[in-house]
Amino acid sequence: MIRIFTPIRIPLIVLSFLMCGAALSPQETATQSIPAQPIKAFPTPDIILHDEKHKEPKSGVQLQGGQLTIMSGVGTPTVINAFSFSADGNTLAAAKDFGRVVIWNVAKKKFLRALETSQGIVDAVAVSPDGKTVTTSGKGDDFSVKTWDVATGKILKELRNNQAPILTLEYDDTGQSLVVSDNAGVVRAFNVSGWEPSFTLNGVHAPMMAQDRKSLVTVDEKEIATWSCASWSKVQAKPIPKGFPLLVAAHTGEDRLGVYQFKRMRIMRGSTGEVLLERADFFPKNFTWRPTFAGFSSDGTLLYASMDDRLWLWNIEKNQACSTPTMYSGTASVSPDGHWLAGAKDDSIVSKERTDGVWIWDTRHLATSCTAN
């Protein structure tokens, strides 16, 4: 299906130590000297999840008499806009158009329920670490934020009258704080027990929960700041020079960053800015956008990403990579426990077969297949 792309929802952080025109230096580690291996194909997904059958609204994208018609403000039933996993990877929620959010048990390949949120095109979703609640927000319903009980499908809490569309929803590691960011640059952290904001920032360009979900990283006009989720106090700040590349993934334990710059993906050492590895062959010559998702594996040796509507895996230590066919969607997520990689599969509007759904790979099988000789 031909997609109408809305602004990127994946937070991107401006680095404070690498100049935009930086080149590889002779001082880089031996990792950079590893030659790039040919890109291989992903194996078939281990699991494919589908929405249950229901009466779907008419798609806003129509092909009539060989002419494509796009109805303004109308979504498409199969489109998935965002994913979120529970901490153990068992519960997965997918945010869709027409106010629909679908929840599955991944390990059991079981449809749990669908939430009819009345929020229009649902752009943001967050599953609590224990998988018991799901929080949603979309372009409709006054940009409301709603928290739902997974077992009953009932609304537990609701926040209304937001002034701008919500971009991201993320829980901290305890599940006691919910971080809400909107496209007006406002970031708020709510205590979920009382639904009161315990932390508010304005003028933020790129809020991002750190990998361990114990801290929040924010970017404004002056600095990159790190905030403790336990106290919401600033624990670190660095000034931001202008004209630097964009960070799309971070692994604090291994001191690694995933950076997109000049149609290249780079792996850098966060503490020094040293470039460890880079590849340019992930992007076609006419690529004009940027990665829509990226995330490291639990041990930091693999980088998962969505680029040019394909999912990618990059083995950093071996400089091996593989990719899927065109997914017609840039939505993806890695479960916090590192077990599952989920991608949204849509179809071209001219396709005669339906392959849409949620494609899920066991990351252990995926890594083995992609790196096998």
Domain assignment present for 194 = yes
Q: What is the pLDDT of residue 55?
A: 74
Q: What pLDDT was estimated at residue 1?
A: 38
pLDDT digits (tens, 9 = 90+) for 315-363: 999 999 999 999 999 999 999 889 999 999 998 766 777 788 999 999 9
Q: What local confidence, expressed as pLDDT, does residue 75 receive?
A: 61
Residue 5 lies in a domain: no
Pairing of strands 155-159, 166-171: unpaired
pLDDT given at position 59: 63
Query: CA nearest 179: which of 142, 148, 149, 216?
Result: 216
3 state DSSP class of 365: helix
Span between the terminal Cα atoms of the chain, in Å? 35
1 within a domain of the structure (yes/no)? no
Beta-strand pair 302-307/310-315: antiparallel
Does any domain span residue 2?
no
Number of domains observed in the structure of the chain: 1
Give the model's pLDDT for residue 212: 80
CA 204 to chain centre: 18
| 124 within some domain | yes
Question: What SS3 class is residue 363?
Answer: helix
Going by C-alpha positions, the residue among 148, 112, 111 that lies closest to residue 127 is 148
In the prediction, which pLDDT does 369 show?
92
Domain limits for position 329: 13-64+73-371
Q: How far is CA 173 from CA 41, 130, 305, in A?
A: 34, 10, 23
- Consecutive 10-residue averages of pLDDT for the chain (373 residues): 38 38 39 79 96 75 61 68 96 95 97 95 96 96 95 94 91 95 94 90 84 81 85 84 66 80 83 84 86 89 93 95 94 93 86 86 95 75
Question: Per the domain annotation, does 3 fall within a domain?
Answer: no
Distance between CA atoms of residues 115 and 343, nearest Å: 20
User: Residue 4 domain-assigned?
Assistant: no
Going from the C-alpha of 236 to that of each of 1, 227, 228, 292, 306, the distances in angstroms are: 44, 7, 9, 27, 30
Please report whether residue 7 resides in a domain.
Answer: no
CATH number of residue 328's parent domain:
2.130.10.10
